[in-house]
Amino acid sequence: MDINEQVALLMQGTEYGDEGLRKTMEMELRQRLLEAEREGRKLKVYCGYDPRTSDLHIGHTVTMRKLRQFQDLGHEVVFLIGTYTSLIGDPSDKDKLRPLLTQEQVMENARTYAEQAFRVLDRSKTTIRYNHEWLSGLTFADLIQLGSNFTIQQFLTRESFRKRWDNEDAIYLHEFFYALMQGYDAFALKTDVQVGGTDQLFNIITAGRKIMTALGEKPNIGIIMAILPGTDGVVKMSKSLGNHIPLNSTPEDMYGKVMSIPDSAMPQYARLVTRWLPAQVAAFEAGLQSGSLHPRDAKMKLAWEVTATYYSELQADQAQEAFVRLFQQGQIPEEMPEYALQPGQTVLDVLLAAALVTSKSEGRRMVEQKGVRLDGVVLEKADMPFPHPGVLQVGKRRFVRVK
């Protein structure tokens, strides 16, 4: 790729909320790439991840996909695990205090976090660092020096803090430290580029660049990625909202969940969680707009690509074949879990015991919505005795063979 093609790829999916800022970051990226080319060196790129949970979904991997693009272009990538920032938790997109984690909880989550990241990143080209390496050694004098670069007003203009201030909810002093800690990460790593989501805009553009400059380093370039919507196509993907696509899912489940997103979300998924180059994304969007690409065909193409990205092309083929058999030809899957029916169990009992629902209320709701079938026949009452062995289906994708 020439420089312009590289810049187009690396800026794909970015969102700054300000066109002037976007142009500035794009210009600085182009200049830094040209400098690196002249000097025969690689750019140093990083993204930080706070392991406050051990289960990742594909929304978490948007920034990892960007890191992989830098890797594929030959640059050096640092995968930073926030073993110290996790103790506080980023308040950027939260309207209430996040619970504090212990060092033991953070390290336990960190063990699985990196392994899941290698579903996207090239393990041989990735350096893993932990920010307790430098943050744990800062003195109180260091903290005073870092804090002197900011005003309280700068923090209170942030939406999350402003909302709590207006509601007279508590804002704790230690929450302000998070941006200082993240800014110091950039300085400690002496990076050229930092990748993050739009919820990290203040931490990267304001805090990180200011601290690097104040401490005598050339400020890094912020690559700010848009946030992937969940399967509802509206709000941010979140496990707590149930609109997520787990990374440790199955190919069939991942394919099916992408097929469930609304048509309007397809361009965002194409830009953020596929391996497609800008020209391919543009052609995909143009086909949708012109009608030359049928939405169903477009979504199948997208679902195959997303599944192949996290698994393999063979597994994506198999997931697509299973989807076609099940939903387009009306067949049931060839393989499914089995459950041994116990005497006296009701429909609701079996739904819970077979893990087809997570609670009694969900089970009753699915029955009321006529979303529970046995051998293709709708089961009308949750409290009725379970009729007979057969294939039990909940919704579109959950099956158990009751024996």
The residue ranges of every structural domain in the chain are: 3-225, 251-328, 338-402
pTM, full prediction: 0.78
* CA 209 to each of CA 186, 203, 332, 356: distance values in angstroms, whole numbers, following the listed order: 8, 9, 55, 49
Provide the angle, in degrees to the nearest 10, between the axes of the packed helices 173-189 and 140-147.
90
What is the rounded CA–CA span in Å between residue 318 and residue 256? 12
Residue 391: what pLDDT? 86
Residues 6+ apart with CB under 8 A from 24: none
To the nearest 10 degrees (0 to 180), the angle between helices 278-290 and 295-310 is: 160
Nearest alpha carbon to residue 267 among 315, 301, 218, 309 = 301
Q: How many CB atoms lie within 10 A of CB 197?
A: 21
Q: What is the pLDDT of residue 335?
A: 79
- Residue 53 CA neighbour count, 13 Å, CB half: 10
Give CA–CA dist 398/113, Å, rounded: 27
- What is the fold of 338-402? 3.10.290
Q: What is the mean pLDDT of each run of 10 residues along the chain (403 residues)?
A: 95 96 98 96 94 80 96 96 77 52 75 83 93 93 92 81 83 84 94 94 92 95 95 84 83 88 94 96 96 92 96 95 76 82 93 92 91 79 86 88 90
The token duo for 167 is 């509601």
pLDDT in the model for residue 189 = 96
- What distances in angstroms separate CA 5 from CA 121, 278, 335, one per listed residue? 21, 9, 45
| Third-level CATH fold of 251-328 | Tyrosyl-Transfer RNA Synthetase (1.10.240)
CA distances from 227 to 60, 93, 163, 230, 402 (A): 9, 11, 21, 9, 40
Radius of gyration of the chain (CA): 24
Q: Does 3.30.470.20 match the CATH number of domain 3-225?
A: no
Q: Which pLDDT belongs to residue 328?
A: 65
Would you say 341 and 403 are in contact if contact means Cβ atoms under 8 Å apart? yes
Euclidean distance between CA atoms 228 and 32, whole angstroms: 28
Helices (DSSP H) in 79-208: which residue ranges?
103-117, 132-135, 140-147, 152-156, 159-166, 173-189, 201
